Amino acid sequence: MASTNSTNTDDSKPGLVQRVAKSELNKATKLAKDDITAISSITGEALSSGAYLYPLYGIAYFGRNPKLLEGVYPVVYKSALWSIGITIAMFLFTYLPQVGVLAFVSGPLAFIAAIPLVLAESYVITLFLIKSLLVSGATEKIFDAVLVQKGYGDLVERGRTLKSGRGGGTVLGASLLKPVTSKFSTEGLVRYLVTLPLNVIPGVGTAVFLFLNGQSAGPHHHDRYFQLKGMDKQAKQQFIKQRRGAYTSLGAASVALSLVPVVGTLFSFTSAVGAALFAADLEKKERRGRNGGEPTDGEAGGKDKVEVGMGNKDEL
């Protein structure tokens, strides 16, 4: 009898896979609850920060400075082609099936609700297949170029070789530091997957999806900045916490631009420009407070001070 009871007890215990799955589900559920609770507390701060404008500033700045493409054009070209291919394939093979499923939830709005869902799915596939392979070094080079152009070459020198160019300008050399990873963190991936179904709710659901994922995406846009500043994990977390609303709005805007069909990958580069402009403003504010530097001039990132060359396209 004792043996039988022991066997029954063992059989009633969940297996390893079940325990791991339950643990991950609990983590995901807690993460989602924390994010939803944070919406009310961060929304006002995010909107008042104005940081959501920096990705748009990045587009305008990129348009005025097309030379930023010179050293990374091959990467931009390949990334754009891959992104277009992935998006087209997703719409061809998954759009109508998802419309059929969403018809039970969204009714006649299923055709609309399926669009942001497919775009979001295309985005995550693009992120894994392209960003981690191609974009990281290129976006870091663009980020560094903008900082140098804004007069922060001393900061960039901590992580990149800078050479003298013609007419007193500066030419970017090879990076001296390990490339900053552009993959999703585990936390960011869980958040993205858990919140992905929000896109079935037209308008409001997509807005909440962007806001929640902006919390993770925003700080990642400054991974290079944190690296150049030499911040350890604790210092970085404290820095982000003090600017949580600003980073959330920055991330939400950049994710929204990345979901735009065809040109979404190009916006990954312009968002890097916008993030560099934001970093330049943060750096300017810090130095002004530390040693009474020049006052702000109203232009995002400040006025250009140095003519920058992108250097060899093979040096990322």
Extract the tokens encoding 92: 């061809």
Task: Assess if residue 290 is contained within a domain.
Answer: yes
Whole-number pLDDT of residue 6 = 47
Burial (CB count within 10 angstroms: exposed 0-12, middle 13-18, buried 19+), residue 215: buried
pLDDT in tens, 214-267: 888 899 999 999 999 999 999 999 999 999 999 999 999 999 998 887 777 788
Domain containing residue 148 = 27-309
Hunting for tokens 């950049």 — which residue is that? 254
Q: How many domains does the chain have?
A: 1
Q: Looking at residue 91, what is its pLDDT?
A: 92
For the chain, which ranges sit under pLDDT 70? 1-40, 71, 130-136, 181-189, 290-298, 313-316
Residue matched to tokens 């909107």: 47
pLDDT at 33: 63
Cα separation of 7 and 41, whole Å? 51
Does residue 2 belong to any structural domain of this protein?
no
Structural Rg of the chain based on CA atoms: 22
Does residue 35 lie in a domain region?
yes
Q: What is the pLDDT of residue 157?
A: 94
Tens digits of per-residue pLDDT, 85-108? 888 999 999 999 888 888 887 788
Looking at the domain assignment, is residue 64 inside a domain?
A: yes
| Cβ partners under 8 Å of residue 193, min gap 6 | 28
Question: Does 172 map to a domain?
Answer: yes
Both structure tokens of 274 = 């916008």
The span from the CA of 18 to the CA of 144, in Å, is: 46
Token duo for residue 217: 């995406």
User: In angstroms, rounded to a whole number, what is the distance separating the alpha carbons of residues 280 and 171?
Assistant: 19
For tokens 């160019």, what's the residue?
165
Q: How far apart are CA 191 and CA 185, in angstroms?
A: 10
d(CA 145, CA 170): 9
Assess if residue 93 is contained within a domain. Answer: yes
Distance CA 119, CA 129 (A): 15
Domain membership flag for residue 10: no
Query: Is 218 inside a domain boundary?
Result: yes
Structural contact between residues 273 and 53, judged by C-beta atoms closer than 8 angstroms: no
